[in-house]
Structure 1
């Protein structure tokens, strides 16, 4: 599992979670989390220790 920033194309500026099962973009608009999308959103979300899947 790793985080992959996207630097080209339609998803430029986003960050994706890549696993052996598949891939998903990070951000509230995609579900699973309440964080803003992109690397900045991921860092701001992770810094205080919030869970990745925090959306209810």
Structure 2
């Protein structure tokens, strides 16, 4: 099962969710507004992705 972080009122998120449904991908929905990911998790995503970390 794929974890899907989203904001349910966001039209782009809604389209992504519809596309995943159409492809038959099972998702665990996590609302970004009510349950945001912790900083440590985001950092682990960055390390896994291989993208450079940039400070804004």
What TM-score does the superposition give when structure 1 sets the normalisation length? 0.28
Instruction: Give the number of the structure whose alpha-carbon radius of gyration is greater.
Output: 2
What TM-score does the superposition give when structure 2 sets the normalisation length? 0.28
Specify which structure has the bigger relative contact order, considering alpha-carbon pairs within 8 angstroms and separated by 6 or more residues. Answer: 2
By percentage of residues, which structure has more helix?
Answer: 2
